Amino acid sequence: MSPGVRVFVLLGVVTFLVAQVSAQDTYLSRALVLMSETPLIDGHNDLPWVLLKQFNNQLNKVDLNTLNNTHTNIPKIKKGMLGAQFWSAYVPCDTQYKDAVRQTLEQIDVVHRMCQQYPETFRFARSSQEIREAFRDNRTASLIGLEGGHSLDSSLGTLRTMYQLGVRYLTLTHSCNTPWADNWLVDTGSQPSEHNGLSPFGKQVVKEMNRLGMLIDLAHVTVKVMNQVLDMSAAPVIFSHSSAYGICPHKRNVPDDILLKVKQKAGIVMINFYNDYVTCSHTANVSDVADHFDYIKRVAGPSIIGFGGDYDGVSRVPTGLEDVSKVPVLVAELLRRGWKDDEVKAALGENLLRVLKKTEEVRDGMVNTQPDDSPIPYHEVQNSCRTGAGYPDESSSSCSSLSWLAVLLSLAACLTLREQ
């Protein structure tokens, strides 16, 4: 090859590479424009849990502007153009039958205090309209999702109280059965079914959520529960952080037949970024996540798709999506794959806004329906930490009485040892 030809070829290669970079920049620029017009609404972020684990919810000891060992902080939020976030009020399954309600209230409290401490960034929101208003004012609308029915302690009164405090979705289970619903691990065979899906009280919970206008989140339940709720709910449902089972056959993901039922219900699946749910392995990249968007779009259309990153709640995230600041890169990838502007806007936030507004309309249509005040049968929740107050002829047992018994037994043991 002559020197002249070599230079010509090299120039051609450089021109091609520059064109490729320019094309990518074009997609990213277009993504940022769309995100300036429609709020990116993410269905699940566990920053409140990180604040509990690292700081015991002492917000005075942390600065969200400089916090740097998390997927989420204020500079990353601004760079990622996060329009609205459902912050997770999560407490572990080992709090069930113990102090789950108290711990959940503390997680709700920390979200409210985040908004109070950083009003230039966050604005608490309770409705679809308030999300739009916060977005217009360049604030990240902050909503609360309750991750796990064990946080209710099987109480409809607690459910209503949580709603009054601003909770706008409830994930019916986490990774444990409640006294009224089976969780996703039942489908793996690692836990037994206790209710064959939902118990009668579980169905009361679903109906009361419809009456309140609270979104029903199916992200952690069995397929049986998914079908039961989709069949009976008067409002659309959500999967706040789940991906497509057809790509990664993990039981936390959504099967094709459920995707179609979600479409019929006009609900939404907010796609999770956790590597294990994206590729069923420890590694993943932006393209792998986009594959889930494409797959769900192909199976059920763009109207049921959303973003549910699960940031700060997972140990592994895809290369290129290392934190909340990187989400525009995923939006650019969808555009590169031929997604139309209106399809991208639907996935960014319009789908979730539609679902929430419809849920509010169902609530408004049930304004004359009385709150359900029929309690769960006592035998379904009886345990050593629950009193029988309100239930006729039930004895009052409690953790404290057992604690005193433990103290007495310990004293007796000490006396026995001393005598020996």
Query: Which residues are tagged catalytic?
Result: 44, 46, 147, 174, 220, 241, 310
Short-list 117, 103, 111, CA closest to 144: 111
CA atoms within 13 A of residue 233's CA, in its CB half-sphere: 33
CA 136 to centroid of chain Cα atoms: 24
- Determine contact, residues 237/262, Cβ cutoff 8 Å: yes
First-last CA distance in the chain: 99
**Positive or negative, the Cα torsion across 187, 190, 196, 198?**
negative
Q: Is 305 helix (H, G, I), strand (E, B) or coil?
A: strand
Using CA atoms, how far apart are residues 255 and 239, in angstroms rounded to an integer? 12
- Determine contact, residues 275/318, Cβ cutoff 8 Å: yes
- Determine contact, residues 274/248, Cβ cutoff 8 Å: no
Task: Report residue 192 as tokens.
Answer: 């037994």
**Positive or negative, the Cα torsion across 70, 75, 77, 80?**
negative
**Count of all residues that appear for the chain in the document:** 420
Task: Report residue 55 as tokens.
Answer: 């700081």
| Contacts (Cβ under 8 Å, ≥6 apart) of 257 | none
Using CA atoms, how far apart are residues 324 and 33, in angstroms rounded to an integer? 17
Q: Is 391 helix (H, G, I), strand (E, B) or coil?
A: coil
Using CA atoms, how far apart are residues 129 and 131, in angstroms rounded to an integer? 5
Q: Per-residue b/e over 226-253, b at no fewer than 16 CB within 10 Å?
A: bbbbbeebbbbbbbbbbbbbbbbebbbb
Residue type, 115: C
No. of helices (H) and no. of strands (E), the chain: 16, 9
Task: Report residue 261 as tokens.
Answer: 């039922």
DSSP annotation of 198 reads B
